[in-house]
Amino acid sequence: MANAQTIADPVKARPAPEQQMRVVIVGHVDHGKSTLVGRLFHDTGQLPDGKLEAIEEMCRRRGMPFEWAFLMDSLKAERDQGITIDTSQIWFRHDAREYVLIDAPGHREFIRNMVTGASNADAALLMIDADQGVRRQSRHHMYLLQLLGVREVAVAVNKMDLVDYDEDRFRAIEAEYRQYLEGIGITPRQIIPISAREGDNVATTSDKMDWYKGPTILETLPQFEHPASAAEQPLRLPLQDVYKFDERRILAGRIESGTLNVGDELVFSPSNRTARVESIESWNTDGNATTARAGESVGITLDEQIFVERGEIASHEMAAPIESDVFHARLFWLAETPLEIGATCELKIGPKRVDAVVEQIERVIDIDALSDHDATRVVRDEIADVVIRTSQLVAFDDHDNLPHTGRIVVVDRHLTLGGGVVSLGIYPDQRQAVTVRGTNLTEVDHRVDPARRVARNRHKPGVLWFTGLSGAGKSTLAMALEQRLFDKGYQVYVLDGDNVRTGLNANLGFSPEDRAENIRRVGEVAALLADAGLIVITAFISPYRADRDRAREAAGDTFHEVFIDADVATCESRDPKGLYKRARAGDIKEFTGISAPYEEPADPDISVDTSGRSIEECVDELVVYVTENFSNPR
């Protein structure tokens, strides 16, 4: 659905994208979408000359009643003759506003096309057959529209002529559907009884339904409020490609939101490289532009040659996108093969493709009953909340804030398997943890090499990174192990969570971002102490896998992940600090294991189950591990 067609005035210049209202018309198959479009054009005098007569003649030859939907079919025939049009989108003028009417398929088999048509819509008009009433597709389509962020909605109860323009029938459908819309957070602008075939309440008020006092379809269209101007939102320029032209490296892409100016300093996510815009390139124009806005496809050059690639998002640093490798997604699944926990897949986030795994299916949503249930798989046409982990950091936005950079598509090569919207949810934005702000830095080599430290200490250095739920026994075991190893002659020190937060990390709170920064600092300190020759034992919940991976990266081969394993029930029964009790009472927000996630190690170096075991038994196990892995191989 790439091109719109102007059938009223093909030569008149079209307005800028932000001045148009894109209205998708959805509903169950045969509920009258195409008929409404035809009737609108006829009743507003926007049919091309001869079109009405051509349809009448076609119907006469076929021996059938006049059918407005043939207007769309006749346009399709024009497309087949090579004219550049898209029969599902038509440019429509009314009063001071211009509309792109998107006629979306209603059949279940074409739900992909419906989603594609609706994905860029500003408003929606849903059709319900008065004779058939609310069907599953009536609910399904509107739920998908809500999911895609379409909030401006009106409903047309069509074919009122088939039910003798009966008010009771209309009121019953209105009540049923209004209740459903309220359940998904949508308040319709209007619910209108119409007969698209006969023209009742389409462009003019019907004299057959004098019990209806509301506006017609044509009067309702101007009531749709245009979404906030994309140009006024934070800048998002996903890079489609980087070209070498003459001696210039031109970064090309479409500005999804915001405004770009020559001289702006941009940050490219997720690489976090920065540079200033030196020029906005243009061709066949008098001079280069100095500014570009949302909706424009541009090529830019930078004031320095930095390495950025397709898929990165350019933005202003003060309002940059999120960076993370784990996030929530609300997916609608379209493939015949069910989506299951642990499934590997390829994601498209803007122009970027990245490998990913479905780590958790949080719930599957029943779009009819508006309830949800636990599940281990998502079958075709179902909608589910899932947790996705990508193989690398990706840049995106919460869909509620910036829809265009808050969507994903699950693909298998060129086949779309599903799609949805993303949010960071309870996970931390990792941008700050990976940003290096210092410049002109040069590392200085120590004169004492690691081998000499090992020789003096008579053991290898390393980081024993204890991770587990609060109450699992991390601090208890860490201190006991420190004592045991010290007595054996090891150079050993414990970095404990509460101890560090009273000093080094006293300025950090317990938000996801602060918790990530807490672990980043501890990881760096532990790596430094290990570099000094010590065995460092850390005792931190460290709930996020990405944070532990970053600590492993800092310490390198000396890092040992130790999973202090005890389930929530066991930890809660211990509750040494009374934290679980306070969390259950709501006094502590985002408490790990209760209201915040704990991502268990996928492949720890050692796992120590503390459930039903004594401290001495657990320490014995850890001492054996240290002896086997930290002994000096003299």
Residues that are catalytic: 542
Structure tokens that stand for 178 in this block: 């209004």
Angle in degrees, CA 487, 490, 491, rounded to 5: 115
DSSP 13: P
**Structure tokens, 523:** 């990881």
| DSSP result, 267-284 | EEETTTEEEEEEEEE-SS
Which 3 state secondary structure label does DSSP give 21?
strand
329, 422 Cβ separation under 8 angstroms: yes
CA distances from 589 to 509, 510, 596 (A): 12, 9, 8
**Which amino acid, residue 318?**
M
Q: Which long-range contacts (CB under 8 A, 24 or more apart) does 488-491 make?
A: 488/623, 489/458, 490/457, 490/459, 490/535, 490/626, 490/630, 491/457, 491/459, 491/461, 491/533, 491/534, 491/535
Distances (CA, A) of 460 to 314, 467, 497, 633: 45, 22, 24, 9
Q: Which amino acid is at 575?
A: D
Distances (CA, A) of 11 to 7, 242, 332, 606: 10, 34, 40, 72
Relative to beta strand 559-565, strand 535-539 is unpaired
The rounded Cα 201 to chain-centroid distance in angstroms is 39
Rounded Cα–Cα distance for residues 539 and 467 (Å): 7
Count of positions (residues) in the chain: 634
Q: Are 85 and 75 in contact (CB under 8 A)?
A: yes
